[in-house]
A and B are shown apart, each in its own frame.
Chain A
Amino acid sequence: MSFHHTKEQNSESLWSILLTFLKVGAFTFGGGYAILPVIQQEVVERKKWVSQKEFADILIVTQGLPGQLALNSAIQIGIRLRGIPGGLIGALGVTAPSVIILLSIAAYFYPLLRDNDYVQAIFYGLRPAVVALIAAAAVKMGRDILKGWIGIILCVALLVLAIITQIHPILVLLVGGTAGLVVCRGRCW
């Protein structure tokens, strides 16, 4: 089968791209980094749509460009299989389950359950749990990214800037990026 890799790629139907990413979107919990291994299993190991190396290249672009990790990977895999229509179908597949599930919760279950005592109790415990997840994400990301002194100083300086000036996070990101570009020249990280 693998001898006809290119042929297979070109003949892959939009329908099967849609079904694959619908499955990824509908059955993968935990977002971002939880979804990537599932996509890898589907498209590299099961379907053999892309090689391990191609998938690694896709991940570099996925993480370097704006957007959701699962969405960016789905679009790129779709493009590789069937060009722009494939990319659009990949995006549709990975997004549609979220929209359907969250719409039904927001429109039906949430108003119905919101005032229930037990649901109140659950959210009372969920809120600090979510804050712990967010704080842990910051610490883990810091451990991965802030390896040199310049990175650490930059991070602390931007934290102070954000607290004092209360400027929009987009501006903080742009200041950080520009500082990285100007100060570093390939020596910081």
Chain B
Amino acid sequence: MAAILLSLYWSFLKVGLFTIGGGYAMIPLMEAEVITVHGWLSASEFLDIIAVAEMTPGPISINAATFIGYIMGGLAGSLIATLGVITPSLVLLLLLSRILIKIIQNPGAQNFINGLRSALVALILLASFTLGQTAIIDIPTTLIFAALLIASLLRQVSPLYFIAAGAIFGLLLFPY
């Protein structure tokens, strides 16, 4: 149990430390740690948890960390995973914020962050392909994916509508 708690903390610490810009930036990291490195969840279980994290209030990666932590280590696991994902923010902002504010305004640091964000675009795109293989499995799921992707690129809509649309289409189109 202590071993699993330790690896939960360490994994989610890495997710928190390398999520720059928030939101979906954490998806490739969490996917790598939870599915590829540790094999804690299957890709479809991971997607289910991201869906739940999206439809509940609060930051998505904190929601996902609490859920995954609970599955792997009960109450202690959920608290440890959540603590892991927020530790980098706490340490960096509470202890080092003055130095870091100076550093991130430096042009070199800006180039580093921009290079990192270019990498992030590649990684999030790749994550959508790998996760898509378990989610887009037949004609109805292909239609749901295509319709929502096009809609989200054409209009600025809250993710909550996409979640609601996915749930309704799922209920209508599922091969019961």
Contact = CB atoms under 8 A, between A and B. Distances in A.
Contact of A97 (B20, B58, B71): B58
Interface string B107-147: 11111111111111111111110011011100011101110
Interface string A3-30: 0000000000000000000000111111
Nearest to A168: B32
A154 to B, nearest CB: 5
Contact of A126 (B61, B82, B101, B166): B166
Given A32-B60, A99-B78, A186-B111, A133 B24 contact: yes
A134 interface: yes
B133 to A, nearest CB: 9
Given A94-B58, A128-B135, A169-B29, A158 B93 contact: no
Contacts, number: 382
A169 B28 contact: yes
B57 A69 contact: no
Interface size class on chain A is: 35 or more
A75 B144 contact: no
Contacts of A163: 126
Interface in A27-78: 27-35, 60-72, 75-76
Contacts of B71: 106
25 contacts: A29-B158, A32-B22, A32-B24, A60-B104, A64-B20, A66-B18, A66-B19, A67-B19, A69-B59, A70-B58, A88-B90, A98-B63, A102-B70, A126-B48, A128-B148, A129-B148, A129-B163, A129-B165, A134-B27, A134-B128, A136-B148, A162-B123, A169-B28, A173-B119, A181-B115
